[in-house]
Structure 1
Amino acid sequence: MAHTGSATATRIVELELIRLRPASGGRSADTDGPVLVRVADGEGLCGWGELPAATGAQWEALTAGFAPALLRHTWRRPTEAGDAWADLPRDPAVANALDTACWDLWSRQRGTPLSHALGGERTALTAGVTLARQVTLESVVTEVNRQVGSGFRRIRLEVEPGWDADVVRAVQTSFPFLVLQVDCGGRYTESPADLDSLRAMDGLGLLAVEDPFAPGDLAAHARLASELRTPVALGRGLSSVEDLDDAIRAEAGGAVNVDPTRLGGLTSARRAVDRAVDAGWQVWCGSSATTGIGRAAVVALASLTGAALPVEMPGAGNRSRDLVVPPVRAHDGVVPIPLAESGLGHGVDRAAVADRTARSLVVDADGPREVRAAREARGRRR
């Protein structure tokens, strides 16, 4: 059923909260695996969101606070859904799961792709991939070769003091035309040795140097940004649009990794993209998501014109079973934006979800009730 007109009010009548076992294994319901959120409007439509690596405290906040608050709230646009939990203790990752689910539902109600609902215009994205720290320089080059062979056009290398400029040079020697950036993970300080390492990387033609210093240390980032020609990128220290505004005013960078999980949802992430572009900052959309549900939402966000840098995707060699059909993957370095289907554009594979479900709750007007993964749902997609 498609709804028309932005004035149509939506009230969520049921939420399904599904705690998954981590993809790496384990059967316990208490491990910090992802939580999937399904919201239903009572008219046969639903929307999905993801809370990555949810702690026990986040599960409790979701089940006892955020979910009941959303059930009591009526909204006309998903930008208003967050009013439901505005008075609760802030948790951007929990808010993101519900906010994304509401955006997915709203776009399905209107029969439009989520990318269009967000204002995106692109039909395909260039993909980037992150390489974790390797054991040797030779293994770095080997892994980069595998990713380049799969079509990835931008490689993001994880670096740290003592493992940085030499790594970049080794990759550039084998792949001189490859676009590279580095993720410092906040592991550097303003010590003379660390600053020398950062300066050494500045001369290597990188796309960006991400999070060199501790999250939130805008003064240190601003001092470095004023010195380097390479854009300093921020990500981990930004948990709200207001944080980004502070960073822009401090001139603490020139690029930003917009992650809806860190920022509290698609509503905030979309505003962050606009703020960054207005300030002349470069933007790419990364993700803490661990399932195709979260990654599909990031792809929709990355369709915004301002998010011009390559979107982060799982690399070649990632063989984990996705929870959506078709899987959210790059093909020859390109990520298609699904435009033939409404919402996320990917069907949730309920059989795959059931295989990984450790615990499931349904929350409605009667309160939460525990349910088991429905075996009869195997093979059924919704």
Structure 2
Amino acid sequence: MLIHHVEARVLDMPLRLPFRTSQSLEVSRRAILIRVDTDRGPGWADLAVEDHPIFGHEFIESTRLALRTVLVPALAGEVSGARVAAALGRVAGHRAAKSALEMAILDAQLRASGLSLSEYLGGTRDRVRVGVSIGITETVDELIGLVEGYLADGYSRIKLKVQPGWDEILIGRVRAAIGDDVELQVDGNGAYTSADVAHLARFERYGLTMLEQPFPTADLRSHIRLAAATSVPVCLDESIGSAAEALAAIESGACSVVNIKPARVGGYLEARRIHDVCAAASIPVWCGGMLESGVGRAQNLALASLPNFLLASDISATDRYFARDITERFDLVDGALPVPTGPGSGVTVDLEAVEDFTVARDDYEPAKEPSHV
């Protein structure tokens, strides 16, 4: 497949509610939408990076530079989705950008062949059970009101963003409000330190489904200590960047659950490899969210249709985040979302909405010969 043109648009999509974690506050979803035009038609992908390098090294402006100077030039000649990682392998880092280029090319390839992304990856289900992630609010009462609203909408799993000083009392009050039957998990986004192991271990009294990434990315030692100190499963997110890292974390005892985000690990094909490593070790996985548009939501649903995605994923319905999206809506039915069955990602991109949300646009022409970075 020959690539004729690559377009990258910075979109600014207003969120229905502000989303706050221990590391950031977002009132709109600013990220990059990639379109790849090939000799077999177009393909699309979300490029999930933020304005600032908070959760990873990549951010919007650094990614725009990398796309122009090293990544797109490396895609010269015949390229298929399965060969993108090798073509870009000479470039260090930039996993989110590589993931988006791989997915957009794969989307074009699958649309042309009439095959859905779920079928291509090996998906086994047509619906994916999903939960909702709730950011930090001004008051506990405000948060409980949101939780009750999402439970009324049909979500069966609640995830709370926590940080030192906004954790145990909050968790206790939420558990009391929702009862013991609702799945409840918490995500620290790396805000805790090794001194907090005993404090975090106390959370087991609240019947949590998991404790997600309480310590910084590189601090596996504290995750190992916490896993040994609590009966609550410890989940790794930012610490897992590849199948090799997943295997090392599992063998060290640092986690018993893994959150897979394709942008973080360099693509959906590497995400599938992580799924397979975890399945072989009997470690369940789930798909994390990065406030994706409908394009990324559809592609994440395809990934989460694989058999070892045994836990509710963070792929909420469209109206959880957006009043208007760039694809058709995804609506919650009985706590689940449908896996798209059409070719590629299975969604139609609303070009008018894309235009309305665009705040910057870059156009790249692949070189005739591969770049030798």
Paired residue type of 1:346: V
Corresponding residue number in structure 2 for 1:295: 297
Paired residue type of 1:49: A
Note if contact 2:301-2:340 (Cα within 8 Å) is conserved in structure 1.
no
**Are residues 1:88 and 2:67 paired?**
no
Q: CA RMSD in A?
A: 2.1
The structure showing larger relative contact order (alpha-carbon pairs under 8 Å, at least 6 residues apart) is 2
TM score, norm. by length of structure 1? 0.85
**Are residues 1:110 and 2:113 paired?**
yes
Corresponding residue number in structure 2 for 1:347: 348
Paired residue type of 1:292: G
**C-alpha displacement of 1:274:** 0.9
| Structure number, greater radius of gyration | 1
Note if contact 1:37-1:49 (Cα within 8 Å) is conserved in structure 2.
yes
Give me the whole-angstrom Cα distance separating, in 2, the residues matched to 1:328 and 1:73.
Answer: 36
Aligned-partner SS, 2:279:
helix
Paired residue type of 2:79: W
Note if contact 1:73-1:84 (Cα within 8 Å) is conserved in structure 2.
no
Corresponding residue number in structure 2 for 1:306: 308
Give me the whole-angstrom Cα distance separating, in 1, the residues matched to 2:227 and 2:367.
Answer: 54
Written as runs of structure 1 = structure 2, the 5 A alignment for 1:200-349 is 200-314=202-316, 317-324=320-327, 326-339=328-341, 341-349=342-350
Note if contact 1:154-1:180 (Cα within 8 Å) is conserved in structure 2.
yes
Q: Which runs of 4+ in 1 moved over 4 A?
A: none
**C-alpha displacement of 1:281:** 1.3
Note if contact 2:301-2:315 (Cα within 8 Å) is conserved in structure 1.
no
**C-alpha displacement of 1:345:** 0.9
Give me the whole-angstrom Cα distance separating, in 2, the residues matched to 1:33 and 1:317.
Answer: 16
Give me the whole-angstrom Cα distance separating, in 1, the residues matched to 2:8 and 2:293.
Answer: 15
**C-alpha displacement of 1:366:** 7.3
Q: Structure 2: which 5+ runs fail to align?
A: 17-27, 51-58, 369-373
**C-alpha displacement of 1:280:** 1.7
Query: 1:196-249: CA deviations, max 9, x gaps?
Result: 321211122111001111112111111211221111000012222222122122
Note if contact 1:261-1:287 (Cα within 8 Å) is conserved in structure 2.
no
**C-alpha displacement of 1:309:** 0.8
**Are residues 1:20 and 2:11 paired?**
yes
Aligned-partner SS, 1:74:
coil
Structure 1 pair 360/134, CA: closer, same or farther in 2 (3 Å)?
closer
Aligned-partner SS, 2:30:
coil
**C-alpha displacement of 1:289:** 4.3
Deviates more, 1:112-121 or 1:49-58: 49-58
**Are residues 1:140 and 2:143 paired?**
yes
Corresponding residue number in structure 2 for 1:46: 42
Query: 1:261-295: CA deviations, max 9, x gaps?
Result: 10011011111111112112121001224311112
Q: Among 109, 120, 125, which residue is 1:122 paired with? A: 125
Note if contact 1:65-1:88 (Cα within 8 Å) is conserved in structure 2.
yes
Paired residue type of 1:277: A
Identity between Structure 1 and Structure 2 (%): 31
Structure 1 pair 239/346, CA: closer, same or farther in 2 (3 Å)?
same
Corresponding residue number in structure 1 for 2:192: 188
Structure 1 pair 319/361, CA: closer, same or farther in 2 (3 Å)?
closer
**Are residues 1:155 and 2:152 paired?**
no
Note if contact 1:37-1:48 (Cα within 8 Å) is conserved in structure 2.
yes
Query: Number of matched residues?
Result: 346
Note if contact 1:32-1:56 (Cα within 8 Å) is conserved in structure 2.
no
Note if contact 1:211-1:234 (Cα within 8 Å) is conserved in structure 2.
yes
Aligned-partner SS, 1:152:
coil
Give me the whole-angstrom Cα distance separating, in 1, the residues matched to 2:169 and 2:222.
Answer: 24
**C-alpha displacement of 1:41:** 2.0
Deviates more, 1:48-57 or 1:92-101: 48-57
TM score, norm. by length of structure 2? 0.87
Aligned-partner SS, 2:14:
coil
**C-alpha displacement of 1:322:** 0.7
Paired residue type of 1:105: A
**C-alpha displacement of 1:32:** 9.3
**Are residues 1:33 and 2:30 paired?**
yes
**C-alpha displacement of 1:61:** 0.4
Aligned-partner SS, 1:23:
strand
Paired residue type of 2:39: G
Aligned-partner SS, 1:216:
coil
